A and B are shown apart, each in its own frame.
Chain A
């Protein structure tokens, strides 16, 4: 069974700190990955896509390590508004219903 594993947390981090969490995947055929952010009582929204070794968008950096089969998400200068659950998703080519595997999310709490 293909798995995407995440530490559920919660991660309690002081405002302004840098926080990183990993997502491991079991399917070596996975070629692209996505980080979603889910706020309380809302639907998940796409935060970043990772197709090669990594991606950076402002304070957010995602890195992919294919040898060790994990993706990390780094948040610099964390803000209170970063508090959310972060979902990791792996995608494999070829289409079909099995092409996307979702992690269960990591809960992040930024504290003032």
Chain B
């Protein structure tokens, strides 16, 4: 199956700093990428959806100025958590899909475990 690489897998940062998470589709072009957050023992929560070359669409309650999403190419999207605080500590996962391909599924990255201290 297609491969989506997410980096870093784990990151610890100090409160107030920014963290960038990368999501790359390695063997296909991702027209659309989805960013999720998952707190312990809770379900995946969609944060935002982005189409390549367009601004991301954020879910209600997700601050777009805090969670900056860039999807400038068909193989790379980044999520930057700005001015991170301990409550931002979570598991962040991306998924990617080529929506030009009929009936294709989305492929998930391995996730990034963010700890803000």
Contacts and interface: CB of A to CB of B under 8 A. Distances in A.
Tell me, yes or no, whether A binds B. Answer: yes
Given A97-B57, A97-B99, A89 B32 contact: no
A59 interface: no
A89 B31 CA distance: 18
A45 B43 CA distance: 15
Contact of A44 (B6, B32, B44, B49): B44
Interface residues of B, number: 30
Contacts of B109: 43
Nearest to A93: B102
Chain A interface extent, by class: 20 to 34
Contacts of A99: 32, 97, 99
B43 A97 contact: no
A85 B43 contact: yes
Given A95-B99, A99-B32, A100-B97, 10 more contacts: A8-B43, A32-B103, A38-B44, A44-B44, A46-B105, A95-B100, A97-B49, A97-B99, A99-B99, A100-B99
Interface of B: 1, 6, 31-32, 34, 43-46, 49-51, 57, 91, 93, 95, 97, 99-100, 102-111, 113
